């Protein structure tokens, strides 16, 4: 990957130290838990969340918007028997900690009984916290973000065929969490995030087309360069010019890596423990079954160094690990937090997520579909007539039935070659059939929270004119 220049203005080291120091948040979370126990809670946990972000948006060579926000928020979960309550605040002045704890305990005492609530089993709590290198110590100043955004926009406008800018932006932020439980767990993490995006427009009037590209990473050194992002946005836009419509047909559909990750998302959404417990997933009876070809593996890796969603413990303090959610085509697990695991008679998989005002619920970390053997060119070489998808529109996927229908645009495939642009079509099928025919190419890159190579699916219905 191309890196952005590092010789850029940054915040002062002293300012950085303040941003990176979570000791006050840790002390606050501990005081909340102690106050909850004094107020009569049988068990409690507290989360303190830090969020700091700054961003710049430019258009036509000028800064349109520049903003910065920062804040620390805390949430307290208390349990009285099998009753639970969650409260949150960003005001902890004076005796606010004591009052918050007393209010939470009072709420829990009148909450409905839930036999599945409770803190994590202490035997499951994380004890090792490996360094995942999630924090870039150089926080870019506003002037550096402006430079990145302006450079990306200039590169987009320099592409022949681009008629105007759709804007460009650059952002940076720091987010982190402290978790303290009454069972003795105390953990924290901080991660930085930086990003650059650009949108370009080609054509005029009703013939206008637009496309975009972006890059994001915890460290500036892992970003694609602003010039690359802008040029890519411009080139993508120009390729979309003068799209055609096609007749309704049933053809192989090939998903560009930028959208192929959505297929992985549908798998993971359907194996979320909350959906399984409610019996609202079309995969509710499919654990341990062969749903994909034997070369298919879908991995969730919370411990990837410099990963966008990496962390060493979940929102209940449970140790996390790299897992194959689908291994050799077989569905191997649900995504579980402690409550859904108890409801299903299983053990948590360490997938609890939460905000300050919510109780834990299951969710994934860094997901990817493992690469296959054929190159993208080889993957489409035998397609006589087909469709190459670059953008998906809408969310017409039914997680209860598995029915799949999405608006799409992309390019027509003819005799193994990507040819002219196509817009205003619908691709439809059923996720069982999509999973069964999934063929990944060899071009996997780790750019997003969900990553996949180019993927080919057989026999989807293309709804055209």
pTM for this entry:
0.92
Tell me the three state secondary structure of residue 212. strand
Residue 67 pairs in a beta bridge with: 55
Tell me the three state secondary structure of residue 268. helix
Consecutive H or E run containing 455 = strand 455-463
- Give yes or no: residues 340 and 412 share one domain: yes
- Give yes or no: residues 209 and 284 share one domain: no
Dist. CA 327–CA 325, nearest whole Å = 6
Dist. CA 122–CA 106, nearest whole Å = 26
- Give yes or no: residues 350 and 406 share one domain: yes
- Give yes or no: residues 173 and 258 share one domain: no
Please give the pLDDT value at position 16.
Answer: 57
How many C-beta atoms lie closer than 10 Å to residue 21's C-beta?
12
Cβ-contact 427, 408 below 8 angstroms: yes
Cβ-contact 387, 419 below 8 angstroms: no
- Give yes or no: residues 341 and 192 share one domain: no
Dist. CA 90–CA 73, nearest whole Å = 5
Question: What residues in the chain have per-residue pLDDT under 70?
Answer: 1-18
Boundary residue ending a domain (164, 193, 228): 228
Which residue in this structure is represented by tokens 């700054």? 54
- Give yes or no: residues 176 and 254 share one domain: no
Please give the pLDDT value at position 206.
Answer: 80
Cβ-contact 159, 180 below 8 angstroms: no
Q: Is residue 8 part of a domain?
A: no
Q: Is residue 204 part of a domain?
A: yes
Q: Is 424 left (phi over 0), alpha (psi -120 to 50) or beta?
A: left
Overall domain count for the chain: 2
Alpha-carbon distances, residue 154 vs 1, 63, 167, 346 (angstroms): 20, 13, 10, 54
Q: Which domain holds residue 361?
A: 243-464
* Strand boundaries in 248-290, DSSP class E: 249-255
Dist. CA 100–CA 41, nearest whole Å = 12
Boundary residue ending a domain (164, 197, 228): 228
Nearest to residue 168, comparing CAs of 148, 182, 188?
A: 148
Strand order of the sheet with strand 83-89?
Answer: 83-89, 62-80, 43-59, 162-181, 186-202, 209-217
Q: Is residue 4 part of a domain?
A: no
- Give yes or no: residues 385 and 414 share one domain: yes
- Give yes or no: residues 263 and 194 share one domain: no
Dist. CA 349–CA 314, nearest whole Å = 10
150: domain CATH number is 3.30.2290.10
Q: Is residue 319 part of a domain?
A: yes
- Give yes or no: residues 440 and 341 share one domain: yes
How many C-beta atoms lie closer than 10 Å to residue 308's C-beta?
20
Nearest to residue 14, comparing CAs of 145, 131, 139, 133?
A: 139
Residue 80 pairs in a beta bridge with: 83
Please give the pLDDT value at position 93.
Answer: 78
Residue 418 backbone dihedrals phi, psi, to 5 degrees: -75, 125
- Give yes or no: residues 265 and 406 share one domain: yes
Please give the pLDDT value at position 17.
Answer: 57
Please give the pLDDT value at position 95.
Answer: 82
Q: Is residue 3 part of a domain?
A: no
- Give yes or no: residues 250 and 185 share one domain: no
């Amino acid at each position: 990957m191309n890196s952005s220049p590092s010789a850029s203005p940054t915040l002062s080291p002293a300012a950085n130290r303040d941003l990176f120091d979570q000791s006050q948040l840790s002390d606050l979370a501990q005081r909340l838990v102690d106050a909850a126990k004094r107020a009569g809670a049988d068990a409690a946990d507290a989360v303190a969340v830090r969020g700091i972000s700054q961003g710049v948006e430019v258009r036509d060579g000028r800064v349109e918007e520049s903003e910065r926000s920062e804040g620390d928020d805390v949430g307290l979960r208390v349990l009285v028997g099998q009753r639970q309550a969650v409260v949150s605040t960003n005001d902890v002045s004076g005796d606010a900690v004591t009052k918050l704890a007393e209010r939470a305990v009072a709420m829990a005492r009148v909450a409905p009984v839930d036999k599945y609530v409770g803190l994590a089993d202490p035997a499951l709590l994380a004890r090792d916290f490996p360094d995942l290198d999630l924090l870039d110590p150089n926080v870019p100043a506003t002037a550096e973000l402006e430079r990145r955004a302006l450079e990306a926009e200039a590169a987009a406008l320099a592409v022949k065929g681009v008629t105007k800018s759709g804007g460009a932006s650059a952002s940076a932020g720091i987010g982190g969490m402290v978790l303290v439980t009454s069972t003795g767990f105390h953990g924290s993490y901080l991660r930085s995030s930086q990003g650059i995006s650009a949108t370009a427009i080609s054509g005029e009037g009703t013939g206008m087309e637009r496309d975009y590209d972006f890059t994001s990473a915890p460290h500036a050194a892992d970003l694609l360069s602003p010039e690359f992002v802008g040029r890519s946005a411009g080139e993508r836009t120009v390729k979309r010019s003068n799209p055609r419509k096609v007749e309704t047909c049933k053809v192989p559909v090939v998903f560009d890596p930028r959208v192929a990750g959505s297929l992985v998302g549908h798998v993971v959404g359907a194996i979320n423990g909350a959906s399984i417990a409610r019996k609202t997933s079309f995969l509710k009876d499919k654990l341990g079954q062969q749903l994909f070809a034997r070369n298919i593996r879908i991995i969730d890796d919370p411990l990837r160094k410099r990963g966008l969603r990496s962390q060493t413990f979940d929102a209940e303090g449970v140790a996390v690990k790299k897992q194959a959610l689908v291994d050799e085509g077989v569905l191997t697990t649900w995504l579980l937090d402690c409550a859904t695991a108890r409801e299903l008679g299983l053990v948590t998989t360490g997938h609890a997520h939460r905000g300050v005002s919510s109780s834990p619920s299951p969710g994934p970390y860094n997901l990817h579909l493992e690469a296959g053997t054929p190159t993208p060119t080889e993957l489409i070489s035998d397609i006589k007539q087909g469709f190459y998808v670059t953008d998906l529109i809408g969310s017409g996927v039914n997680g209860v039935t598995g029915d799949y229908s999405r608006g799409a645009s992309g390019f027509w495939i003819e005799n193994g070659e990507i040819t002219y642009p196509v817009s205003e079509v619908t691709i439809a099928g059923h996720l069982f059939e999509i999973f069964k025919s999934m063929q990944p190419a060899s071009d996997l890159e780790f750019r997003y929270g969900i990553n996949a190579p180019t993927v080919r699916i057989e026999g989807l219905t293309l709804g055209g004119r």
